[in-house]
Protein backbone atom coordinates (compact mmCIF):
# COMPACT_ATOMS: atom_id res chain seq x y z
CA UNK A 1 0.00 0.00 0.00
CA UNK A 2 1.10 3.56 -0.71
CA UNK A 3 0.55 4.67 2.90
CA UNK A 4 2.96 2.00 4.15
CA UNK A 5 5.66 3.12 1.71
CA UNK A 6 5.22 6.76 2.79
CA UNK A 7 5.44 5.79 6.46
CA UNK A 8 8.70 3.98 5.80
CA UNK A 9 10.16 7.14 4.21
CA UNK A 10 8.89 9.23 7.14
CA UNK A 11 10.46 6.85 9.65
CA UNK A 12 13.83 7.15 7.93
CA UNK A 13 13.66 10.93 8.18
CA UNK A 14 12.65 10.73 11.85
CA UNK A 15 15.72 8.57 12.51
CA UNK A 16 17.91 11.19 10.81
CA UNK A 17 16.38 13.92 13.00
CA UNK A 18 16.99 11.85 16.11
CA UNK A 19 20.64 11.36 15.18
CA UNK A 20 21.09 15.14 14.87
CA UNK A 21 19.53 15.69 18.30
CA UNK A 22 21.64 12.92 19.91
CA UNK A 23 24.83 14.36 18.44
CA UNK A 24 24.01 17.85 19.74
CA UNK A 25 23.04 16.65 23.21
CA UNK A 26 26.08 14.38 23.54
CA UNK A 27 28.33 17.43 23.14
CA UNK A 28 26.10 19.73 25.26
CA UNK A 29 25.76 22.31 22.53
CA UNK A 30 23.26 23.88 20.18
CA UNK A 31 22.80 22.95 16.54
CA UNK A 32 25.39 24.29 14.15
CA UNK A 33 24.03 26.37 11.31
CA UNK A 34 24.30 23.48 8.91
CA UNK A 35 22.65 21.07 11.36
CA UNK A 36 19.83 23.56 11.98
CA UNK A 37 19.16 23.85 8.24
CA UNK A 38 19.14 20.06 7.87
CA UNK A 39 16.87 19.65 10.91
CA UNK A 40 14.37 22.24 9.64
CA UNK A 41 14.37 20.70 6.18
CA UNK A 42 13.67 17.22 7.61
CA UNK A 43 10.92 18.66 9.80
CA UNK A 44 9.23 20.28 6.79
CA UNK A 45 9.51 17.06 4.76
CA UNK A 46 7.98 15.03 7.60
CA UNK A 47 5.05 17.44 7.91
CA UNK A 48 4.47 17.12 4.16
CA UNK A 49 4.65 13.32 4.45
CA UNK A 50 2.12 13.37 7.30
CA UNK A 51 -0.38 15.05 4.97
CA UNK A 52 0.34 12.60 2.14
CA UNK A 53 -0.01 9.63 4.50
CA UNK A 54 -3.35 10.92 5.78
CA UNK A 55 -4.66 11.32 2.21
CA UNK A 56 -3.35 7.89 1.18
CA UNK A 57 -5.01 6.23 4.16
CA UNK A 58 -8.31 7.92 3.33
CA UNK A 59 -8.08 6.71 -0.26
CA UNK A 60 -7.22 3.15 0.80
CA UNK A 61 -10.05 3.11 3.33
CA UNK A 62 -12.45 4.29 0.63
CA UNK A 63 -11.35 1.51 -1.71
CA UNK A 64 -11.86 -1.07 1.03
CA UNK A 65 -15.38 0.24 1.71
CA UNK A 66 -16.22 0.13 -2.00
CA UNK A 67 -14.89 -3.42 -2.24
CA UNK A 68 -17.04 -4.39 0.71
CA UNK A 69 -20.09 -2.83 -0.99
CA UNK A 70 -19.39 -4.48 -4.33
CA UNK A 71 -22.27 -6.59 -5.65
CA UNK A 72 -22.36 -9.94 -3.95
CA UNK A 73 -21.36 -12.82 -6.18
CA UNK A 74 -24.43 -15.00 -6.43
CA UNK A 75 -25.78 -17.64 -8.72
CA UNK A 76 -28.02 -15.05 -10.37
CA UNK A 77 -25.00 -12.94 -11.36
CA UNK A 78 -23.78 -15.88 -13.46
CA UNK A 79 -20.21 -14.88 -12.59
CA UNK A 80 -17.48 -17.46 -12.55
CA UNK A 81 -13.77 -17.04 -12.31
CA UNK A 82 -12.02 -16.42 -15.62
CA UNK A 83 -8.45 -15.58 -16.47
CA UNK A 84 -9.57 -12.83 -18.86
CA UNK A 85 -11.85 -11.30 -16.24
CA UNK A 86 -9.06 -11.27 -13.67
CA UNK A 87 -6.61 -9.57 -16.05
CA UNK A 88 -9.18 -6.98 -17.10
CA UNK A 89 -10.00 -6.27 -13.45
CA UNK A 90 -6.34 -5.48 -12.83
CA UNK A 91 -6.19 -3.33 -15.98
CA UNK A 92 -9.12 -1.28 -14.73
CA UNK A 93 -7.80 -1.03 -11.17
CA UNK A 94 -11.10 -2.40 -9.81
CA UNK A 95 -10.72 -5.89 -8.38
CA UNK A 96 -13.74 -7.22 -6.56
CA UNK A 97 -15.91 -10.29 -6.15
CA UNK A 98 -14.48 -13.60 -7.30
CA UNK A 99 -11.43 -11.85 -8.78
CA UNK A 100 -10.57 -10.23 -5.44
CA UNK A 101 -10.85 -13.65 -3.82
CA UNK A 102 -8.50 -15.22 -6.37
CA UNK A 103 -6.11 -12.24 -6.16
CA UNK A 104 -5.90 -12.53 -2.38
CA UNK A 105 -5.23 -16.28 -2.55
CA UNK A 106 -2.59 -15.82 -5.26
CA UNK A 107 -0.79 -13.09 -3.29
CA UNK A 108 -0.84 -15.27 -0.17
CA UNK A 109 0.71 -18.20 -2.02
CA UNK A 110 3.64 -16.11 -3.21
CA UNK A 111 4.14 -14.37 0.13
CA UNK A 112 4.27 -17.80 1.75
CA UNK A 113 6.93 -18.75 -0.80
CA UNK A 114 8.98 -15.67 0.10
CA UNK A 115 8.25 -13.79 -3.15
CA UNK A 116 7.53 -10.05 -2.98
CA UNK A 117 4.21 -8.76 -4.31
CA UNK A 118 3.77 -6.16 -7.07
CA UNK A 119 0.63 -3.98 -6.70
CA UNK A 120 0.12 -3.81 -10.50
CA UNK A 121 0.09 -7.57 -11.04
CA UNK A 122 -2.65 -10.12 -11.34
CA UNK A 123 -1.94 -13.17 -9.19
CA UNK A 124 -3.47 -16.39 -10.45
CA UNK A 125 -3.54 -19.08 -7.73
CA UNK A 126 -1.81 -22.34 -8.59
CA UNK A 127 -5.23 -23.99 -8.49
CA UNK A 128 -8.12 -21.61 -9.09
CA UNK A 129 -10.81 -24.17 -9.91
CA UNK A 130 -12.50 -23.49 -6.56
CA UNK A 131 -13.03 -19.82 -7.43
CA UNK A 132 -16.33 -20.46 -9.14
CA UNK A 133 -19.70 -19.25 -7.95
CA UNK A 134 -22.05 -21.96 -8.97
CA UNK A 135 -22.17 -25.25 -10.78
CA UNK A 136 -25.44 -24.28 -12.48
CA UNK A 137 -25.71 -25.00 -16.18
CA UNK A 138 -28.06 -24.70 -19.11
CA UNK A 139 -30.84 -22.10 -18.77
CA UNK A 140 -29.29 -20.66 -15.60
CA UNK A 141 -26.34 -19.38 -17.60
CA UNK A 142 -23.62 -21.91 -16.87
CA UNK A 143 -23.15 -22.64 -20.55
CA UNK A 144 -22.61 -18.97 -21.45
CA UNK A 145 -19.59 -18.31 -19.25
CA UNK A 146 -16.00 -19.50 -19.38
CA UNK A 147 -15.30 -22.34 -16.96
CA UNK A 148 -11.80 -23.12 -15.70
CA UNK A 149 -11.40 -26.73 -14.65
CA UNK A 150 -7.90 -26.56 -13.19
CA UNK A 151 -5.24 -24.03 -12.34
CA UNK A 152 -2.51 -23.03 -14.78
CA UNK A 153 0.29 -24.79 -12.92
CA UNK A 154 -1.69 -28.01 -12.62
CA UNK A 155 -2.32 -27.95 -16.36
CA UNK A 156 1.39 -27.73 -17.15
CA UNK A 157 1.53 -31.51 -17.16
CA UNK A 158 -1.09 -31.96 -19.86
CA UNK A 159 1.16 -33.02 -22.71
CA UNK A 160 4.50 -31.75 -21.42
CA UNK A 161 7.67 -33.80 -21.86
CA UNK A 162 8.18 -33.93 -18.10
CA UNK A 163 4.74 -35.47 -17.76
CA UNK A 164 5.45 -38.12 -20.39
CA UNK A 165 8.71 -38.96 -18.65
CA UNK A 166 6.85 -39.48 -15.38
CA UNK A 167 8.70 -36.74 -13.49
CA UNK A 168 7.82 -36.12 -9.86
CA UNK A 169 5.99 -32.84 -9.31
CA UNK A 170 6.06 -30.92 -6.08
CA UNK A 171 3.78 -27.92 -6.51
CA UNK A 172 2.47 -25.34 -4.07
CA UNK A 173 5.70 -25.30 -2.04
CA UNK A 174 6.33 -22.77 0.71
CA UNK A 175 9.86 -21.43 1.20
CA UNK A 176 13.07 -23.19 0.22
CA UNK A 177 13.13 -27.00 0.37
CA UNK A 178 16.11 -29.17 1.31
CA UNK A 179 15.68 -32.84 0.39
CA UNK A 180 18.05 -35.23 2.22
CA UNK A 181 19.95 -37.69 0.04
CA UNK A 182 21.89 -40.56 1.64
CA UNK A 183 24.74 -42.67 0.35
CA UNK A 184 24.38 -46.43 0.06
CA UNK A 185 24.70 -48.48 3.26
CA UNK A 186 26.76 -51.68 2.92
CA UNK A 187 25.89 -54.91 4.75
CA UNK A 188 28.56 -57.58 5.18
CA UNK A 189 28.66 -61.26 6.23
CA UNK A 190 31.02 -61.74 9.17
CA UNK A 191 31.93 -64.41 11.68
CA UNK A 192 30.07 -64.42 14.98
CA UNK A 193 32.74 -62.53 16.93
CA UNK A 194 34.32 -60.57 14.09
CA UNK A 195 34.39 -56.79 14.03
CA UNK A 196 31.87 -55.25 11.66
CA UNK A 197 33.38 -52.70 9.30
CA UNK A 198 31.86 -49.27 9.67
CA UNK A 199 29.60 -48.11 6.85
CA UNK A 200 29.28 -44.34 6.70
CA UNK A 201 25.87 -43.14 5.63
CA UNK A 202 26.78 -39.64 4.51
CA UNK A 203 23.74 -37.46 4.13
CA UNK A 204 23.75 -34.92 1.33
CA UNK A 205 20.88 -32.81 0.14
CA UNK A 206 19.08 -31.54 -2.92
CA UNK A 207 18.30 -27.85 -2.53
CA UNK A 208 15.11 -26.58 -4.17
CA UNK A 209 14.71 -22.81 -4.33
CA UNK A 210 12.22 -20.73 -6.37
CA UNK A 211 13.57 -19.32 -9.63
CA UNK A 212 11.50 -16.87 -11.66
CA UNK A 213 10.51 -18.03 -15.12
CA UNK A 214 9.54 -14.93 -17.11
CA UNK A 215 7.31 -14.78 -20.19
CA UNK A 216 6.50 -11.55 -22.09
CA UNK A 217 3.33 -11.43 -24.20
CA UNK A 218 1.64 -8.71 -26.28
CA UNK A 219 -2.13 -9.23 -26.32
CA UNK A 220 -4.70 -7.34 -28.39
CA UNK A 221 -6.94 -5.19 -26.19
CA UNK A 222 -9.89 -6.27 -28.32
CA UNK A 223 -9.05 -9.90 -27.57
CA UNK A 224 -8.82 -9.19 -23.84
CA UNK A 225 -12.34 -7.77 -23.62
CA UNK A 226 -13.86 -10.88 -25.21
CA UNK A 227 -15.86 -13.13 -22.91
CA UNK A 228 -15.78 -16.14 -25.17
CA UNK A 229 -14.72 -19.42 -23.63
CA UNK A 230 -12.55 -20.10 -26.67
CA UNK A 231 -10.63 -16.84 -26.12
CA UNK A 232 -10.16 -17.73 -22.47
CA UNK A 233 -8.86 -21.17 -23.44
CA UNK A 234 -6.57 -19.66 -26.09
CA UNK A 235 -4.90 -17.22 -23.70
CA UNK A 236 -4.49 -19.85 -21.03
CA UNK A 237 -3.09 -22.35 -23.53
CA UNK A 238 -0.52 -19.86 -24.85
CA UNK A 239 0.73 -19.17 -21.32
CA UNK A 240 0.87 -22.86 -20.50
CA UNK A 241 2.70 -23.82 -23.71
CA UNK A 242 5.45 -21.25 -23.20
CA UNK A 243 5.99 -22.33 -19.59
CA UNK A 244 5.87 -26.02 -20.49
CA UNK A 245 8.51 -25.60 -23.20
CA UNK A 246 10.83 -23.63 -20.92
CA UNK A 247 10.56 -26.21 -18.13
CA UNK A 248 11.15 -29.14 -20.50
CA UNK A 249 14.19 -27.47 -22.06
CA UNK A 250 15.59 -26.55 -18.63
CA UNK A 251 15.45 -30.16 -17.43
CA UNK A 252 17.12 -31.46 -20.60
CA UNK A 253 19.85 -28.82 -20.25
CA UNK A 254 20.28 -29.79 -16.60
CA UNK A 255 20.53 -33.49 -17.47
CA UNK A 256 23.04 -33.05 -20.30
CA UNK A 257 25.24 -30.73 -18.23
CA UNK A 258 25.39 -33.07 -15.21
CA UNK A 259 28.76 -34.63 -14.42
CA UNK A 260 27.08 -37.38 -12.39
CA UNK A 261 25.36 -39.29 -15.21
CA UNK A 262 26.80 -42.43 -16.83
CA UNK A 263 28.51 -41.46 -20.11
CA UNK A 264 27.96 -43.42 -23.29
CA UNK A 265 30.61 -42.22 -25.76
CA UNK A 266 30.49 -42.50 -29.53
CA UNK A 267 33.85 -41.28 -30.78
CA UNK A 268 36.25 -38.36 -31.19
CA UNK A 269 33.94 -36.64 -33.65
CA UNK A 270 30.80 -38.54 -32.72
CA UNK A 271 29.54 -41.84 -34.10
CA UNK A 272 26.44 -43.53 -35.45
CA UNK A 273 24.41 -45.71 -33.12
CA UNK A 274 25.06 -49.45 -33.11
CA UNK A 275 23.17 -52.26 -31.44
CA UNK A 276 25.99 -52.51 -28.91
CA UNK A 277 25.73 -48.81 -28.07
CA UNK A 278 21.98 -49.07 -27.52
CA UNK A 279 22.58 -51.98 -25.15
CA UNK A 280 25.34 -50.05 -23.36
CA UNK A 281 22.75 -47.61 -21.98
CA UNK A 282 20.98 -50.44 -20.14
CA UNK A 283 24.27 -51.95 -19.01
CA UNK A 284 25.50 -48.74 -17.42
CA UNK A 285 22.22 -47.94 -15.70
CA UNK A 286 22.03 -51.49 -14.38
CA UNK A 287 25.59 -51.37 -13.03
CA UNK A 288 24.73 -48.11 -11.28
CA UNK A 289 22.06 -50.18 -9.46
CA UNK A 290 19.23 -48.02 -10.78
CA UNK A 291 15.82 -49.47 -11.59
CA UNK A 292 16.18 -50.70 -15.18
CA UNK A 293 12.63 -52.10 -15.23
CA UNK A 294 11.23 -48.60 -14.60
CA UNK A 295 13.56 -46.95 -17.12
CA UNK A 296 12.91 -45.68 -20.62
CA UNK A 297 14.85 -44.10 -23.48
CA UNK A 298 14.63 -40.40 -24.30
CA UNK A 299 15.42 -39.54 -27.93
CA UNK A 300 14.78 -36.91 -30.61
CA UNK A 301 13.26 -37.48 -34.05
CA UNK A 302 16.63 -37.79 -35.82
CA UNK A 303 17.56 -40.66 -33.52
CA UNK A 304 14.05 -42.07 -33.96
CA UNK A 305 14.61 -42.30 -37.71
CA UNK A 306 18.09 -43.80 -37.29
CA UNK A 307 16.84 -46.53 -34.95
CA UNK A 308 14.00 -47.46 -37.32
CA UNK A 309 16.60 -48.32 -39.93
CA UNK A 310 19.13 -49.99 -37.59
CA UNK A 311 18.87 -53.81 -37.99
CA UNK A 312 19.04 -55.95 -34.86
CA UNK A 313 21.56 -58.14 -36.69
CA UNK A 314 23.33 -57.91 -40.01
CA UNK A 315 20.89 -58.78 -42.80
CA UNK A 316 17.94 -59.02 -40.40
CA UNK A 317 14.52 -57.63 -41.29
CA UNK A 318 13.99 -56.74 -37.63
CA UNK A 319 14.99 -53.27 -36.52
CA UNK A 320 15.90 -51.72 -33.15
CA UNK A 321 12.81 -49.51 -33.13
CA UNK A 322 9.69 -51.53 -33.81
CA UNK A 323 6.18 -51.66 -32.34
CA UNK A 324 6.78 -48.37 -30.51
CA UNK A 325 9.62 -49.92 -28.51
CA UNK A 326 13.41 -49.70 -28.72
CA UNK A 327 14.54 -53.32 -28.58
CA UNK A 328 11.53 -54.07 -26.38
CA UNK A 329 12.03 -51.06 -24.09
CA UNK A 330 9.66 -48.01 -23.90
CA UNK A 331 10.85 -44.63 -25.13
CA UNK A 332 9.79 -40.99 -25.32
CA UNK A 333 10.62 -38.92 -28.40
CA UNK A 334 10.81 -35.13 -28.22
CA UNK A 335 12.26 -32.17 -30.07
CA UNK A 336 13.53 -30.95 -26.69
CA UNK A 337 16.41 -33.41 -27.02
CA UNK A 338 19.02 -31.46 -29.02
CA UNK A 339 20.21 -32.38 -32.49
CA UNK A 340 22.70 -29.53 -32.91
CA UNK A 341 25.54 -30.59 -30.61
CA UNK A 342 29.20 -30.50 -31.64
CA UNK A 343 32.23 -32.62 -30.78
CA UNK A 344 35.64 -32.39 -32.45
CA UNK A 345 34.84 -31.85 -36.11
CA UNK A 346 31.40 -33.39 -35.73
CA UNK A 347 28.37 -31.11 -36.03
CA UNK A 348 24.60 -31.56 -35.78
CA UNK A 349 25.07 -34.39 -33.30
CA UNK A 350 22.13 -35.72 -31.30
CA UNK A 351 21.65 -36.63 -27.65
CA UNK A 352 20.02 -39.73 -26.16
CA UNK A 353 19.35 -40.75 -22.55
CA UNK A 354 18.11 -43.75 -20.62
CA UNK A 355 16.94 -44.09 -17.02
CA UNK A 356 14.11 -43.93 -14.53
CA UNK A 357 12.86 -40.38 -15.01
CA UNK A 358 10.47 -40.50 -12.07
CA UNK A 359 13.47 -39.20 -10.10
CA UNK A 360 13.29 -35.95 -12.07
CA UNK A 361 11.79 -33.26 -9.84
CA UNK A 362 9.73 -30.26 -10.87
CA UNK A 363 9.21 -28.02 -7.86
CA UNK A 364 6.76 -25.12 -8.07
CA UNK A 365 5.95 -22.25 -5.75
CA UNK A 366 2.56 -20.62 -5.48
CA UNK A 367 0.70 -18.51 -7.96
CA UNK A 368 1.38 -17.29 -11.47
CA UNK A 369 2.14 -13.56 -11.52
CA UNK A 370 0.93 -11.47 -14.46
CA UNK A 371 2.23 -7.88 -14.54
CA UNK A 372 -0.34 -6.03 -16.61
CA UNK A 373 1.10 -3.09 -18.60
CA UNK A 374 -1.62 -1.27 -20.61
CA UNK A 375 0.65 1.67 -21.53
CA UNK A 376 3.80 0.49 -23.37
CA UNK A 377 1.96 -0.82 -26.43
CA UNK A 378 -1.19 1.31 -26.10
CA UNK A 379 -0.60 2.98 -29.49
CA UNK A 380 -0.85 -0.46 -31.09
CA UNK A 381 -4.03 -1.36 -29.22
CA UNK A 382 -2.19 -3.95 -27.14
CA UNK A 383 -1.55 -4.77 -23.49
CA UNK A 384 1.84 -6.13 -22.48
CA UNK A 385 1.69 -9.00 -20.01
CA UNK A 386 4.83 -10.09 -18.19
CA UNK A 387 4.09 -13.53 -16.81
CA UNK A 388 6.17 -14.76 -13.89
CA UNK A 389 6.09 -18.23 -12.35
CA UNK A 390 8.44 -19.83 -9.86
CA UNK A 391 10.05 -23.24 -10.38
CA UNK A 392 13.13 -25.35 -9.72
CA UNK A 393 14.25 -28.45 -11.61
CA UNK A 394 16.46 -31.19 -10.21
CA UNK A 395 17.00 -34.96 -10.23
CA UNK A 396 17.43 -37.01 -7.09
CA UNK A 397 19.43 -39.72 -8.88
CA UNK A 398 21.44 -38.34 -11.80
CA UNK A 399 23.81 -41.30 -11.44
CA UNK A 400 20.94 -43.56 -12.53
CA UNK A 401 20.84 -42.00 -16.00
CA UNK A 402 23.00 -42.94 -19.03
CA UNK A 403 23.57 -40.12 -21.51
CA UNK A 404 25.12 -39.97 -24.98
CA UNK A 405 25.77 -36.58 -26.58
CA UNK A 406 27.59 -37.36 -29.85
CA UNK A 407 25.25 -39.39 -32.06
CA UNK A 408 25.69 -39.05 -35.82
CA UNK A 409 22.30 -39.50 -37.47
CA UNK A 410 22.91 -38.28 -41.03
Kindly write down the DSSP assignment for every residue of 235-248, as one continuous string.
Answer: HHHHHHHHHHHHHH
* Dist. CA 234–CA 303, nearest whole Å: 33
Q: How many CB atoms lie within 10 A of CB 21?
A: 12
228 part of a folded domain:
no
At residue 201 the predicted structure's pLDDT band, cuts being 50, 70 and 90, is low
At residue 198 the predicted structure's pLDDT band, cuts being 50, 70 and 90, is low
At residue 78 the predicted structure's pLDDT band, cuts being 50, 70 and 90, is very low
With 0.85 as the threshold, say if the pTM is over it.
no
* Dist. CA 109–CA 121, nearest whole Å: 14
Q: What is the extent of the structural domain holding 33? A: 2-68
List the one residue out of 224, 208, 260, 302 whose CA is nearest residue 403.
Answer: 260
At residue 73 the predicted structure's pLDDT band, cuts being 50, 70 and 90, is very low
Into how many domains does the chain fold? Answer: 1
pLDDT at 75 over 50: no
208 part of a folded domain:
no
Find the mean pLDDT for residues 308-316: 92
Contact 406, 265 (CB under 8 A): yes
Span 248-295, pLDDT tens digits: 999 999 999 999 999 999 999 999 999 999 999 999 999 999 999 999
46 part of a folded domain:
yes
Backbone phi and psi for residue 386, each to the nearest 5 degrees, phi listed first: -100, 110
Amino acid sequence: MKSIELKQVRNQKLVSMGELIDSKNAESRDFTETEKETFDKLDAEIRDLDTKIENAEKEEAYKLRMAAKAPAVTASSKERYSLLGHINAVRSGKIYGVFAEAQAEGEKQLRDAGVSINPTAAYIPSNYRDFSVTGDSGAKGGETVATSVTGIIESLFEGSLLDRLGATRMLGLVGNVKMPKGAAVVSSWVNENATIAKSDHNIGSIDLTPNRLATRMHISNQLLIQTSGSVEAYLRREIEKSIQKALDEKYISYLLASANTQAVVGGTDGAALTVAKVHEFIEKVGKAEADVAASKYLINYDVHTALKSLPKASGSDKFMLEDNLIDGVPFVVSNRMPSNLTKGTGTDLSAMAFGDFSTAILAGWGAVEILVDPYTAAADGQTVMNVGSYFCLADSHEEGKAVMKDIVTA
